[in-house]
Structures are given as C-alpha cells and as structure tokens.
C-alpha cells in the first residue's frame, strides 16, 4: 500500500498492511535547508522542498505543510514573533470584548501568509498527487480567541458575555470554513481542526457541550472534506464520543491518557492519532522510542483505527534525528498487520 491507501484503510477502522505513521515535523524543514525558521516560512517553495526532504528521510505517511498557528492571526492584522529554536508565536492579542461589536473576518485571498501556505499545499500536490495525504490545518473558531484576545479575556467572555461570544464564534466560523476549504481546493487531503480549548484540560465537559461542540458541529459540516480534531496535548477522554458526534473522522489524543482505554471507548466510531509524548521524546534513546511505539500498537493497533503520531500535533525541533528514525523503524518492524506479537507482549507495566 502507498501512504494514502494505508491511511484511508486505518481511518476506515480496518487493518492496512501496517500502521500509518504521521511524523508531524514542521520546523525541521528549515534545518534541512540550512535556513532560519523565519526565512524558511517566508517562501512556499522552501516549505515544499523542506517537506519533501523530510518525507524522503523519515518516510512519514503524510505531508504536513503547517507553517505556524500565528499565520491565521496575521490575517487579522496581528504580528508574529519568531524565535530561533521553536515555533513562531502570535504577537500581542488585538481584540477586546467591545471590539467584537464591529469585528469582521478577513478574506483569505487578501492574506499574504495564508496565500503562501496555499501555494505550498498546491506545490506538494503537484509533486505527490494522491499517493501521500497532505494535511491542512485550521484553528477552531472556539480556540482561535486565545490568540485573538488572550486567555484571560476570552475565558471572561466565554462565561460572562454570551451574546458577544456567540457573535465572535460566528465570525470565526466563517473565517475557518473559508480557510479550510481554500486548503482543500489547493490540494489538501484533509483538515486538522485544532481545538485545544475543547479539552478537559481547559474547560469542563458541560461547558464544551454548551459552547465548543455546537461551534464544531456547524463548522465541520461546512468544511468540504474530511477532518481530524486535535486537542494539542489536552485530555479528551471525557469528550471523545462528543467529538465523534461533531462528524470528525479522527481525534489526536494526549500522552497523558491511556490509548488502550481510548481505543475501547472509540469502538469504531472515531479513529485515534497519537500518542507519543513529544516533550519526553527529546530525551528518549532509540530503545525507548521503540518501546513507546510498541506500547501504542499493542494497546490500540488491532482492528485499524490508529495512526501512530506525537500527542501535540508538532514535534519539537530538539527531538534528535536518531529518535525520529527509531520511531520510523519501530513502526516498520512492529506495526505490520496482523499484530500477532501482541498476544505475548508484556509492557512491564502490569497490563
């Protein structure tokens, strides 16, 4: 199977030739081209070349032309703060509660940064066609306000000003749908819908059901392609089936939770993406990397419905090359179906 066939089979809750592996490397492309992170993301051609080199090196089952989360707030007029050794950050929040009254969503076609990202997607599509999934990214309308307003202001709005909060959600929904569909039209296979505020790490389930879930239902229904919801390391056990009810095909799950329990709870309704700990990965040996891959496969690999990946949706730049290669090699060795070795496997953790 090629990466596209392998991924579609797994997401369909069937067993492919082997478990797909999404190594979500973004910043690493800059190093491969000998560039600073800021210079790398200044050109779509750089991202295309960087992603293709990473694909050849690590043989991931997807291409991930994600630039940085602040690319979206740039479209709203916010600056981006670059750093030499990590992801770019959105600059100072630009929106107050009162500002929501006159706020209008920017147009994707008028945002230079978004246009660069679309050019990168189109460039990758021209090179790989339908053989490798190309993953686009959109920030959830429910989570984007953290960058628009700052966490404190947004939580106040969420709990104390329902009218303005609803108006902001509708504006953000229109932007998210336009941006997601533009990526699909450029050649993205699917959209990763980042929604960390939905996580139980940030808001309780009853709050999500009142607020974030209706937003996700409306937004995902208007995105013209498959979606995967990612909680960016946040806990999702309590809302896993609520996420499935939004129509998403897969959920990115945290290393803080037992992927075996998540798999049993998902029960064929939603696929899982995860849950290697990207922070701890910086200190792993190749042997530890292999052990972690085996853990995920043993607990959640059978029956398909699993994509092995990190738990955050972006692997830190500081993760050693030998660890990433060890993850690839471990999936090649232990991820081939049927996973007969699982019956006699002992994790050493009592399960």
Residues 6 or more apart in contact with residue 339 via CB below 8 angstroms: 297, 298, 301, 302
Global confidence as pTM: 0.96
What domains, with CATH codes, occur in the chain? 3-339 (3.20.20.210)
Q: What pLDDT shows up at residue 233?
A: 95
Q: Give the pLDDT band of residue 344 (cuts 50, 70, 90).
A: confident
- Whole-number pLDDT of residue 347: 63
Q: Binning pLDDT at 50, 70 and 90, where does residue 350 land?
A: very low
| Phi, psi of 111, deg, nearest 5 | -105, 110
Q: What is the pLDDT of residues 258-310, one digit of tens each?
A: 999 999 999 899 999 999 999 999 999 999 999 999 999 999 999 999 999 99
Q: Please state, in angstroms and rounded to a whole number, the distance separating the CA atoms of residues 324 and 139.
A: 26
Alpha-carbon gap, residue 120 to 126, rounded angstroms: 10
Has residue 351 got a pLDDT over 50? no
Tokens of 66: 């994600």
CA of 101: how far to CAs of 95, 129, 142, 171, 290, in Å?
Answer: 11, 44, 17, 11, 52
Average pLDDT over residues 112-127: 98
pLDDT at 349: 53
What does the pLDDT look like over 229-255, one tens digit per residue?
999 999 999 999 999 999 999 999 999
Average pLDDT for residues 72-90, to the nearest whole number? 95
Mean pLDDT for the chain overall: 96
Torsion of CA 175, 176, 182, 184, to 10 degrees: -170
- As a whole-number percent, the residues of the chain with pLDDT over 90 amount to 97
| Closest C-alpha among 307, 309, 294 to residue 346 | 294
Q: Which of 104, 207, 109 is nearest to 155 (CA)?
A: 207
Contact 84, 31 (CB under 8 A): no
* Residue 181 reports pLDDT greater than 50: yes
CA 196 to chain centroid, in Å, comes to 10
Q: Alpha-carbon distance 1 to 26, whole Å?
A: 25
- Using the predicted structure, report yes or no on whether residue 348 has a pLDDT greater than 90: no
Residue whose C-alpha is closest to residue 300's, from 241, 333, 342? 342
b/e map 146-162, b = 16+ CB within 10 Å: bbbbbeebbbebbeeee
pLDDT at 144 over 90: yes
pLDDT given at position 99: 97
């Amino acid at each position: 199977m090629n990466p596209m066939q392998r991924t579609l089979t797994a997401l369909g809750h069937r067993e492919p030739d082997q478990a797909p592996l999404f190594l979500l490397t973004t910043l690493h492309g800059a190093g491969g081209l000998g560039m600073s992170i800021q210079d790398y993301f200044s050109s779509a051609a750089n991202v295309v070349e960087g992603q293709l080199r990473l694909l050849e090196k690590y043989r991931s089952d997807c291409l991930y032309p994600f630039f940085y989360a602040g690319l979206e707030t740039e479209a709203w007029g916010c600056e981006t703060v670059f750093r030499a050794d990590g992801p770019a950050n959105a600059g100072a929040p630009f929106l107050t509660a009162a500002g929501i009254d006159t706020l209008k969503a920017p147009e994707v076609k008028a945002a230079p940064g978004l246009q660069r990202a679309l050019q990168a997607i189109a460039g990758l599509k021209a090179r790989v066609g339908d053989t490798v999934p190309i993953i686009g990214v959109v920030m959830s309308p429910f989570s984007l306000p953290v960058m628009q307003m700052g966490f404190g202001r947004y939580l106040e709005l969420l709990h104390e000003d329902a009218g303005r909060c609803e108006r902001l959600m509708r504006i953000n929904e229109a932007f998210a749908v336009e941006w997601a569909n533009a990526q699909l039209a450029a050649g993205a296979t699917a959209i990763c819908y980042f929604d960390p505020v939905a996580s139980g790490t940030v808001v309780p389930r009853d709050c999500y059901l009142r607020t974030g879930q209706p937003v996700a239902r409306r937004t995902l229904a208007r995105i013209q392609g498959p979606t995967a919801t990612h909680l960016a390391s946040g806990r999702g056990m309590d809302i896993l089936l609520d996420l499935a009810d939004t129509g998403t095909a897969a959920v990115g799950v945290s290393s803080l939770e037992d992927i075996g329990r998540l798999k049993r709870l998902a029960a064929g309704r939603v696929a899982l993406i995860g849950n290697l700990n990207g922070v701890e990965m910086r200190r792993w040996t190749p042997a530890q990397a292999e052990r972690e891959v085996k853990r995920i496969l043993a607990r959640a690999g059978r029956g398909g419905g699993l994509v092995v990946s990190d738990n955050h949706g972006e692997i830190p730049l500081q993760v050693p090359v030998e660890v990433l290669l060890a993850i690839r090699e471990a999936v090649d060795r232990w991820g081939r179906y049927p996973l007969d070795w699982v019956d006699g496997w002992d994790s050493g953790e009592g399960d």
